[in-house]
Amino acid sequence: MTGRRVLLIEDDADLAGLLDRVLTDEGYGVTRAGDGHTGLHLALTQPFEVMIVDRGLPAVEGLDLIARLRGRGVSTPILVLSALSRTEDRVDGLDAGAEDYLAKPFELNELLARLRALLRRHLDHAAQLNVPGGSLDIATRSVRRTGGEAVELSEREAALLGLLAARPGVVFSRGELLDLVFDDAESETVVDTYVHYCRRKLGRGVISTVRGLGYRLGSS
Ligand code: CA
């Protein structure tokens, strides 16, 4: 896997460009959005390990965006950037569901240190993901069934199920799953094949088919 994927939602093009370069130099894979609407769409449809969200954004304001993401079950850690630095402003940001809040102007080294801290804390949480009938351990690529039995998954089975389990309720199209999990494959039928493998090992209900749209984590 390449570097940690960070979603940068910032409408100030100069600052976004600077942060993109610095983060890329640090080994992050950076995806940029210049408004809240685009950022929301990306955050709901693609996996990121961490997000940086400017508070003052066009289309969908930063704290509103964060509240909407949390309402949809997206638990990716978020660092808010804001020109507002009073205590009440920080409290607003944390109440909206952000993990950390950094007032502009800030030192780049402090931003990088805070991102590392967020990732460390989150990875401890993210090691286990709930799936129907048990929990998926990302590190060992195994599912611990509710009864105690462990089921081993292949790397791709675990990547597919892990992506769906990290966004319960979100429907991914076959094309999105092909891009995100099977980036060296050409045909969307490979997605169907691995859904079949996961179901064979873990039961049909582990992944739901949403007719005409794609797949999501099973709801049982
Ligand atoms: Ca702004």
Task: Measure Cα distances from 188 to 1, 114, 180, 202, 212 in Å.
Answer: 21, 38, 12, 22, 14
Question: What one-character DSSP code corresponds to residue 205?
Answer: G
47 and 81 together in one domain: yes
Cα angle, residue 180 at apex, residues 14 and 119 outer, rounded to 5°: 60
The last residue of a domain, from among 121, 150, 172:
121
Low-confidence stretches of the chain (pLDDT < 70) are 1-3, 123-127, 183-184, 220
What's residue 2's pLDDT?
Answer: 46
Same domain, 18 and 86: yes
Query: How far out from the chain centre does Cα 202 lie?
Result: 24
pLDDT of amino acid 126: 61
pTM exceeding 0.85: no
Domain count for the chain, please give it.
2
Bond from prior residue into 77 cis (ω within 30 degrees of 0): no
Tally of CB atoms within 10 A around 82: 21
Do both 62 and 149 map to the same domain? no
Beta bridge partners of 62: none
Is the distance from CB of 33 to CB of 11 less than 8 angstroms? no
Q: Are residues 169 and 95 in the same domain?
A: no
pLDDT at 60: 93
- Residue 167 Cα to ligand 1 midpoint, Å, equals 27
CA of 49 relative to ligand 1 center, distance in Å: 22
For residue 188, give its domain range.
128-217
What's the one-letter identity of residue 41? H
Taking the centre of ligand 1 as the mean of its atom positions, its distance from the CA of residue 123, in whole angstroms, is 29
Is-contact 166 129, C-beta < 8 A? yes
- Residue 36's nearest CA partner among 73, 11, 12, 16 is 11
One domain, residues 57 and 140: no
- The CATH code of the domain that includes 169 is 1.10.10.10
| Last residue of one domain, picked from the residues 62, 92, 121 | 121
Q: What's the CATH number where 79 sits?
A: 3.40.50.2300
Compute the distance from residue 66 Cα to the ligand 1 centre, in Å. Answer: 15
Say how many Å lie between the CA of residue 183 and the centre of ligand 1: 33
